[in-house]
Amino acid sequence: MIVFCGIALAHRIVNGSGTFDAIAAHRAFGDALYEQFPFAAFVSKTVTLAPRQGNPPPRLWEQPGGMINSIGLPNKGLEGYLREDLPRLAELPVPLIVNVMGSTREDVGRLVAAFAERDEVAALELNVSCPNVKTGLIMGADPAELAGLLDVVRPLTEKPLIVKLTPNCASPADVAAAAEAHGADAVSLINTLRGMAMHPDRPGEPWLGGGTGGVSGPAVRAIALSQVSEVRRRVDLPIVGMGGVQSAAHAHDLREAGADLVGVGTESFRNPVAARRIAAEASRLEEGFPANAAPAAAASRA
């Protein structure tokens, strides 16, 4: 048993947001999903205020050492999520972390406030990889921009706030430092790296319906290690480290770089119980692992 941001977890492996749909998986696998749930906490797909259809297909491209996705954050919107998804996700045998995204600070604030009062939600993760339409800046790409966002949303909830850092910026460590200074409880990284594939049959056209997408899989693992390590040198916040993890050894590397929890994403696409295997093997590796490089958990705000 470990504690992360005041939340008790059975082990250190969680899912990356948007890489596992527990409701759909239950349709495919039935109650076995709950009985052998792979993750210590479940991070849901990004929720936005209004419903989103997502990007037109094709949405996937296989590439050396991984893939590019251009999904476009399809979701039922806040109301649909609260009505249809939250009651189902509350049945999961692990704590629920809800990932939210808005196109203005106020939109993010409305999402945070709505989940602040829901007991089913253990923590919130902020997807800051989108532009603030009022400033034109990617919320998580600029330290001052992120500070402004946190100044609006931090007072709205006592639940732990995790900032999902984007690797597509000049200095994720600077952004992490701003997150720490402005009240975030943890950071998670890395999100996918922006990438593109050309259409094999149509000269000059991109393959993906959304034009560009996010690169994930083993191809990004070295980048994840380097960014987690950099962020660890700058902040004392707990870190959820992820990027290309396929084995307990990869998870252990991220732990050594400074991560408290480790996210598994793309590897779940190859085997839905990959995270369960990694967690079991990682627990054995942990026995020889020194005490947490970082404070074990942010103090509860309560």
Active-site residue list: 130
**Of 100, 104, 94, residue with least CA distance to 112:** 100
Least CB distance to other proteins at residue 216 (A) = 10
In the complex with other proteins, the residue whose CB is nearer, 171 or 247, is 247
| Whole-Å CA distances, 193 to 21, 63, 132, 189 | 21, 13, 19, 11
Q: How many CB atoms lie within 10 A of CB 99?
A: 23
In the complex with other proteins, the residue whose CB is nearer, 143 or 210, is 210
Binding site for other proteins (CB under 8 A): 18-21, 23-25, 27-30, 32-33, 36, 53-54, 56-60, 62-67, 69, 71, 74, 217, 266, 268-273
Least CB distance to other proteins at residue 176 (A) = 28
Least CB distance to other proteins at residue 187 (A) = 24
In the complex with other proteins, the residue whose CB is nearer, 105 or 276, is 276
In the complex with other proteins, the residue whose CB is nearer, 109 or 210, is 210
Angle at 115 between CA 114 and CA 121, to 5 degrees: 165
Give the C-alpha separation, 232 to 49, whole Å.
32
In the complex with other proteins, the residue whose CB is nearer, 19 or 129, is 19
Least CB distance to other proteins at residue 282 (A) = 18
Contact 128, 112 (CB under 8 A): no
Could you give the maximum distance between any two Cα atoms of the chain, in Å?
58
What stretch of H or E contains 63? strand 60-63
Least CB distance to other proteins at residue 104 (A) = 25
**Of 4, 52, 19, 8, residue with least CA distance to 267:** 19
**Of 231, 12, 223, 8, residue with least CA distance to 123:** 8
